[in-house]
């Protein structure tokens, strides 16, 4: 297979693990990068073998060599730059969350339909064998009929001036972390969309409208339920996902970063076993999937309709918890 030619928007720290490492290991070309500070872009290029530095994000999108644009900018800048890239004829790998709110997500979806473009939300965990195995076990009936899903997402607090605490830039614990939980619940819950029944949360001191933590209860198709707790001010990192059935349960110890803990534990009347699904990075699996779609015409594992549905659930959770939906940045 030929290799991707990638343009990178920004010099975000996550890009080293989420894009640059997988691209270099996969033999893809990192063609160009731009950042608000050209010096940061140059340092990123020097560290990761990016071929050149551009003066602006627009220059990255306009570069004729680029076939895939990676967008890890602040949440509020996802939709505007995704739209610009799609209209420039580029495929896009957009960091999660897909947009600031569901309305923005639908506007991106409209552009995809207008242009016939390709875009995937970077829920990298969904391409790893850990999450694929959870889906197999739940669908197989090994744990009986699905009764409940639980997901907990906790990280220590970022610095107070971090963009993740900015309402204008679509920050908050649910946006940064809880979107994973909501997406995973949607993925495991077949036959319709979850409905938020209740939610509560606490505002980050000094950051009006921005959630420090949120807890939500959902109802799933068929009468099952789900619980989400997400905090961006905890003592440690916790990223667990559990599906409970009528005759057993299955647990992922770290479903978001499965390459750091690849254990899947299954408990039924027949016994208690732990499966190890491999420590290859979920980001590598994700880029493999994107390359197969962009270069080989394969179906994306996550399409734009999936992204819209997740953002609708994010918005519904915010409203149920008494928080405002994140403000739009799309003109």
Name the DSSP letter for residue 328.
P
Rounded Cα distance between 101 and 85, Å, is: 19
Q: In what order do the strands lie in the sheet with 29-34?
A: 52-53, 29-34, 5-9, 68-71, 91-94, 119-121
Which of these is catalytic: 5, 84, 90, 96? 96
In the annotation, is 96 catalytic? yes
Rounded Cα distance between 226 and 215, Å, is: 11
Contacts of residue 281, defined as CB under 8 A and 6 or more positions apart, other chains included, come to 17, 21, 22, 259
- Number of helical H runs and strand E runs in the chain: 11, 14
Q: What DSSP line would sit under 283-322, residue for residue?
A: HHHHHHHHHHHHHH-PPPSS-HHHHHHHHHHHHHHHHHTT
- The residues annotated with a catalytic role in the active site are 96
């Amino acid at each position: 297979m030929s290799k991707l030619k990638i343009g990178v928007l920004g010099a975000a720290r996550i890009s080293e693990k989420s894009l640059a490492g997988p691209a270099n290991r996969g033999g893809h070309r990192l063609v160009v990068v731009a950042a608000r500070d050209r010096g940061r872009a140059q340092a990123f290029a020097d560290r990761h073998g990016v071929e050149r530095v551009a003066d602006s994000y627009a220059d990255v999108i306009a570069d004729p060599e680029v076939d895939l644009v990676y967008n890890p900018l602040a949440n509020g800048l996802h939709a505007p730059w995704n739209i610009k890239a799609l209209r420039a004829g580029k495929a896009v790998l957009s960091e999660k969350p897909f947009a600031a709110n569901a309305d923005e997500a639908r506007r991106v979806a409209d552009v995809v339909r207008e242009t016939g473009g390709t875009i995937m939300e970077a829920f990298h965990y969904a391409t790893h064998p850990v999450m694929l195995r959870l889906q197999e076990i739940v669908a197989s009936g090994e744990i009986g009929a699905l009764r409940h899903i639980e997901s907990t997402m906790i990280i220590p607090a970022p610095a107070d001036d971090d963009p993740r605490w900015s309402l204008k830039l679509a920050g908050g614990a649910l946006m940064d972390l809880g979107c994973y939980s909501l997406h995973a619940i949607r993925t495991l819950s077949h036959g319709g969309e979850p409905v938020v029944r209740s939610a509560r949360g606490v505002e980050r001191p000094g950051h009006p409208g921005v959630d420090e933590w949120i807890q939500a209860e959902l109802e799933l198709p068929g009468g099952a339920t789900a619980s989400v707790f997400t905090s961006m001010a905890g003592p440690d990192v916790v990223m667990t996902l559990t599906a409970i059935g009528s005759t057993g349960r299955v647990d992922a110890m770290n479903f978001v970063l499965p390459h750091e803990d690849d254990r899947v534990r299954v408990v039924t009347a027949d016994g208690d076993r732990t499966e190890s699904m491999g420590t290859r990075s979920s980001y590598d699996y994700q880029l493999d999937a994107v390359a197969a779609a962009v270069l080989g015409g394969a179906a994306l594992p996550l399409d734009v309709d999936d992204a819209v549905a997740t953002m609708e659930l994010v918005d519904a959770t915010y409203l149920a918890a008494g928080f405002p939906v994140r403000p739009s940045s799309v003109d």
